[in-house]
Structures are given as C-alpha cells and as structure tokens.
Amino acid sequence: MKTFMRKLLGKASAKETFRESFIKAQSAMEYLMTYGWAILIIAVVLAALFQLGVFNPMTFAPKAPPGSCQVFRPNGPSTTSFINLEGVCSGELPQYVAEFNGHSSYISIPYNPLLIPSNKITVVAWIKVTGPIVDYPTIITATNGAYTLQECEPGGVNGASITFWINNNGDGNTCSSIANVEYNQWYFTALTYNGTTANQYQNGVLVYSQSFSTTMSSTSPIYIGVYPNYGSGWNGSIANVQIYNTSLSANEIQALYLEGIGGAPIDLQHLVAWWPLNGNANDYSGNGNNGQTTNVNFVSNWYSGYTPP
C-alpha cells in the first residue's frame, strides 16, 4: 500500500511540474508576443545609431575648432625666419572636414608661384571615397598638369585607386601607380617628387615609386576636389591638405601619418600651403593662399571609417 501511494504521489508531482513548466513557457511566449516588436525596434535603432557613429568614442573626444592651430610668420608671407606654430597644435581631431558631392563642389585657390615648385614637391591629404565616379575625380591639382593627386578612372566596385600626374606630359601618371582604398574609409595619401623620383604613400607606407625627370610649371589656379578640364568632382571627403616645396623623406611621411587627421605640418621651413579644411578653406600656412568654396559642405559627423594611427 505504501509503495502504491509513493508511485501515485510521484505521478502527481510530475504532472504538477509539467503543468508549472507549461505555464511558464506560455507566459514567456505571451511576453515575447507583447514586447517582442518593441525589443526588435530598439535593437534596430541601436544598430543604426552605432552605424552612424553615435557610440564611437571619437564622438566624445576633444575637437579642434577652425583655426585653432596655424603657422606664424613674423616677417610676412613666404618668409621663414623665426617661423613657428601657434595655438592648439597637439593633433586633436578636427571639428569639421570638407565634403564634396562628386559633381559641382570644389575649392579654388588663386594662382601663386609658391604653389608650383619647379622640381621638388610634397602633397599630402586625408581622404575618404564615398562611391564610384569616372573622369578623374581629383583630390588636388595645379591645372595644366603641373601636378595632380587623383582617383584613377574609373572607380572600382568596392573601392577606388589613387594615382598622380606630374607636369603636363603626364609623367608619373599611370593607373599602375595606385594605392587601393575602400569606400567609406579614411586614408592618408601622399606624393613626393625630388626631381628624379616620384614616390606615392598610403597610410605612411610607400606603395609606388617611379623615376623620371621633369619640371613643373603652371600659371593657373589650384583646385581641391575637382579637375576643371574634366568636370567630375571628388565623391567623398578631404581634410588636412598640405603642400611643401621639398620632397619629404619616408620617415617624415610616416611621422605625418602618425599625427592623425588633425596633425600639424612637419617641415615649416618648406611649407607653402596648409588647408586643414576644418570648417573653411583658409590657408593656415601663413602664406595667404585662402580658397573659395563652391557647394562644399563642412560636416561635423565625419568619424565613421576613421581609425586613429
């Protein structure tokens, strides 16, 4: 009799346990049915905010306002005596970068012979390509071919290629002289020429070298974001453009890259122009090569795709 009662009670206990488990599962399903859509919407919103960079730690990093760092030339433009940097020049992230629409936006800088070194030059910039476009979208050019740093025509499926021209014979320009970049990612790009050799760098690393001899010459304006003879413009963003009248060394190019997108010029004695593009097209080299903007947006939420060196 006792054995029978224990079996009976055991069966009842198992049924009760099953019933309780079923009720809990039913409650969980009812909860998911009630709040599942809300949870899904919250997850989608959080993912979108993350994609937009809202949770990017750089969003909360200190930002350098326009003109916070500049070159001071006490004896006037083009002089080098007692030249120095003034302001906050510690490489803080810029507050803004220049955004180009790929069609009708560009920056023009009046002709200045300082901007057309005859046989030695360094051009550097931080760039981001947003999407494909044809007809040589340009980072910066001294028109009539003195020098041009540009995207190779046409853009790729998932990225682009950066190449260069030097002088109006196109010396140094070949789509084999490329640095491949992915869309929506920031890159540091640089071109140096010492009179006999042109070097191309990406993120501080040499990616192409070509030997030739030429002389650069032009009496035309400088353009950022477009090559006027072709009409197509840069599709993406550009920041911190610098021009030197010397060929910086590989170590100096690496040092510029390691400063990051907000870095200051590294060789003030040979600096001829500096456009941070941090909210305007002013030249902060002290040489007065201020640019005129056309349909250029200066955007503050630019951090997506940027990884500090």
Residue 56 lies in a domain: no
The values of phi and psi at residue 162, to 5°, are -100, 135
Structural domain for 24, as ranges: 1-51
Integer Cα distance of 308 and 78 in angstroms:
32
| pLDDT score for 4 | 43
Integer Cα distance of 230 and 48 in angstroms:
37
Integer Cα distance of 275 and 76 in angstroms:
18
Residue 216 lies in a domain: yes
Q: Are residues 263 and 157 in the same domain?
A: yes
Are 233 and 223 contacting, i.e. CB atoms less than 8 angstroms apart? no
| pLDDT score for 6 | 46
Number of structural domains (the chain) is 2
| pLDDT score for 126 | 98
Q: Are residues 16 and 133 in the same domain?
A: no
Are 282 and 98 contacting, i.e. CB atoms less than 8 angstroms apart? no
Q: Are residues 16 and 119 in the same domain?
A: no
Q: Are residues 144 and 111 in the same domain?
A: yes
The values of phi and psi at residue 272, to 5°, are -115, -20
Query: Model pTM?
Result: 0.81
Residue 43 lies in a domain: yes
* Ordered mean pLDDT values, 10 residues apiece, the chain (309 residues): 46 59 64 62 59 60 89 95 94 96 93 92 96 82 84 68 76 64 94 94 94 87 88 90 98 98 97 98 98 97 94
65-90 core/surface letters (b: 16 or more CB in 10 A; e: else): eeebbbbebeeeeeeeeebeeeeebe
Residue 210 lies in a domain: yes
DSSP conformation letters of 36-74: HHHHHHHHHHHHHHHHTTTT-GGGGS-EEPTTSEEEE-T
Alpha helices in 224-305 (DSSP H): 250-259
The candidate with the shortest Cα–Cα distance to 208, out of 172, 258, 234, 156, is: 172
DSSP conformation letters of 76-113: -TT--TT-EEEE--S-PEES-EEEEESSS-EEEE---G
Q: Which two tokens stand for residue 201?
A: 């760098």
Q: Which two tokens stand for residue 98?
A: 């220049």
Q: Are residues 143 and 263 in the same domain?
A: yes
Integer Cα distance of 221 and 252 in angstroms:
28
